[in-house]
Amino acid sequence: MTRLIIKGGTVVDPVAGKLFQADVTVVGDRIAHIGKAPADKDATVVDARGCLVLPGLIDMHVHLREPGYEYKETIATGAAAALRGGFAAVCAMPNTRPVCDSAAVVGFVLERGKAAGRARVYPVGALTRGSEGKELAPLGEMRAAGAVAFSDDGRWVRNGNLMRRAMEYAAMLGAPVISHCEDPDLSAGGVMHEGVTASVLGLRGMPAAAEEVAVARDIILAALTGCHLHIAHVSTAGAVRLIREAKARGVKVTAEVTPHHFTLTDEAVKGYNTNAKVNPPLRTPADVAALKEGLADGTIDVIATDHAPHAREEKEVEFDAAPFGMVGLETAVGLTMALVREGVLTLPQLAAKLTTNPARILGFEGGLLREGAPADITLIDPELEETVEPECFASKSGNTPFAGWRLKGLPVGVVVGGRWFAVRPRVATGRRTRDKK
Ligand SMILES: NC(=O)N[C@@H](CC(=O)O)C(=O)O
Ligand SMILES: [Zn+2]
């Protein structure tokens, strides 16, 4: 069996909430030992001095576009972008063509993910057929085929009764329901956050209430059904408040926030920047402050990217006509490390939001650095800086509002199932015994 030693790094333990110096020894696809590694001349040695060693990062919300929109991204390019971003695993949302609403498509996504041989790819199945919100998708079959959660992401299930039934089934299957909370009647026709900037730009707004009304209903249905509700991409202060209250009452609800929502405000849209057009929209400074508070106090469990690649031609149109969404995999760690320097999160909290909590929500074995655990590991150099250049992305698309930003604190390598991938030149590997799978 292949042996890999991550040597001399600082291990970040999200559960104990502490940092400590240790080598991590991997044998085959498992972590064999944490602590001083005995000399082993047959092992591949990664010099991790000055690096943070975290459980492999998990991005529970990405759009990989395959099948159907391979010109934007494929499972292979998306899984490569994930690695370059420091992620050992991603969950692929079902808004593909066809929609991932059957065991066949779930199986296809899993197979393509394995064939790509990069970050692990886990499929999320649709809640309703075609995500049309009319009838339930075959949740049981999809669960058996490997769906890790259910969602009609991109759309809110408008029919409350259908959502109730979907939640009842998902609860029986032990899978979370991920809700894109947006009342389409309230946000109808909107292209950015409803507020002063939208008025100045003459663009139609999407009110914070569109999100909050949907969050409130779904929390009520989660309480009714006992289903684990996970709220995708929370963007408003009111939504954070509703989730905080629901958690205090013991409702089984968890939530995620994206790096773009905790970093940018609606002012990023100025100049009609279509790369800042995203759903939910970028909000106000008060919302950003509330999202950070929610991250710090545990109301928001997860940081997920909502990586939403679109082709250049699609974004180079009038603001109203451009599709919603931005890529996020390759800028997430740098933007999140800024929160640590700002004092919003500690490093163990960052690790919890990017790996331990998503693993717990999805029922994965990963998310922990423990002897015997799967060998999924991410190395971050907290001092490494880079200017964001979309041309250098592994993703097929470059639709990011962060082009030209200087990011500090970047992933340098990822271990997936015992296999080492250097993703930035910082780390010199010792003996180059090429890993066989
Ligand atoms: N986030 C976005 O703006 N777009 C997503 C869909 C979604 O998650 O809403 C996409 O698939 O492009
Ligand atoms: Zn969404």
Per the CB < 8 A criterion, the answer to whether 292 and 339 are in contact is yes
Residue 333, pLDDT score: 98
Instruction: Give the gyration radius of the chain's Cα atoms.
Output: 21
Q: Is the pLDDT of residue 435 over 70?
A: no
CB atoms within 10 A of CB 273: 13
Long-range Cβ pairs for the range 33-42 (8 Å, 24+):
33/371, 34/369, 34/370, 34/371, 37/5, 37/7, 40/3, 40/5, 41/431, 42/3, 42/431, 42/433
Q: What is the maximum alpha-carbon separation in the chain? A: 66
> Ligand 1: which of 192, 234, 264, 306 to mutate, judged by most atoms within 8 Å of the beta carbon?
306
Task: Please state the residue numbers annotated as binding site.
Answer: 61, 63-65, 95, 153, 180, 233, 279, 306, 310, 324-325
Phi first, then psi: what are they for 111, rounded to 5°?
Answer: -65, -45
- The overall average pLDDT reported for the chain is 96
Q: What is the Å distance from ligand 2's center to 233 Cα? A: 7
In whole angstroms, give the CA distance from residue 37 to residue 29.
17
Nearest ligand by distance to the CA of 309: 1
Can you give the residue ranges of every domain in the chain? 3-53+374-430, 56-366
306 part of the active site = yes
Question: Residue 264: which of 300, 292, 296 has the closest Cα?
Answer: 292
Region 387-403: mean pLDDT is 98
Q: What is the Å distance from ligand 2's center to 436 Cα? A: 38
Got the DSSP string for 236-273? -HHHHHHHHHHHHTT--EEEEE-HHHHH--GGGGTTT-
Nearest CA to ligand 1 atom 4: 325
Q: Is the pLDDT of residue 55 over 50?
A: yes
- Pocket of ligand 1 contains residue 266 by CB under 6 Å: no
Residues, the chain, total? Answer: 437
Q: Is the pLDDT of residue 434 over 60?
A: no
Q: Which of 23, 266, 306, 376 is catalytic?
A: 306
- Pocket of ligand 1 contains residue 62 by CB under 6 Å: no
Q: Is the pLDDT of residue 426 over 70?
A: no
Give me the amino acid identity at 23.
D
Q: Is the pLDDT of residue 437 over 90?
A: no
Q: What is the Å distance from ligand 2's center to 404 Cα? A: 26
Residue 223, pLDDT score: 98
- Pocket of ligand 1 contains residue 307 by CB under 6 Å: no
- Pocket of ligand 1 contains residue 325 by CB under 6 Å: yes
Of 2.30.40.10, 3.40.50.720, 2.20.28.160, 1.10.1760.20, the CATH number of 3-53+374-430 is 2.30.40.10
pLDDT class for 428, splitting at 50, 70, 90? Answer: very low
- Pocket of ligand 1 contains residue 69 by CB under 6 Å: no
Give me the amino acid identity at 210.
A
CATH class of the domain at 56-366: alpha beta
For residue 269, CA distances in Å to 127, 168, 200, 390, 407 come to: 32, 40, 11, 18, 21
Element counts in the chain: helices (H) and strands (E)? 13, 18
Residue 7, pLDDT score: 97
pLDDT digits (tens, 9 = 90+) for 6-45: 999 999 999 999 999 999 999 999 999 999 998 899 999 9
pLDDT digits (tens, 9 = 90+) for 85-95: 999 999 999 99
Q: 358 preceded by cis ω (within 30°)?
A: no
Q: What is the Å distance from ligand 1's center to 5 Cα? A: 39
Region 207-231: mean pLDDT is 98
Q: Is the pLDDT of residue 189 over 80?
A: yes
pLDDT class for 425, splitting at 50, 70, 90? Answer: confident
Residue 433, pLDDT score: 40
Tokens (6 digits) for 209: 């209430």
Region 317-325: mean pLDDT is 98
Nearest CA to ligand 1 atom 7: 154
Residue 366, pLDDT score: 85
In whole angstroms, give the CA distance from residue 128 to residue 102.
10
ipTM: 0.98
Q: Structure pTM?
A: 0.96
Nearest ligand by distance to the CA of 308: 1
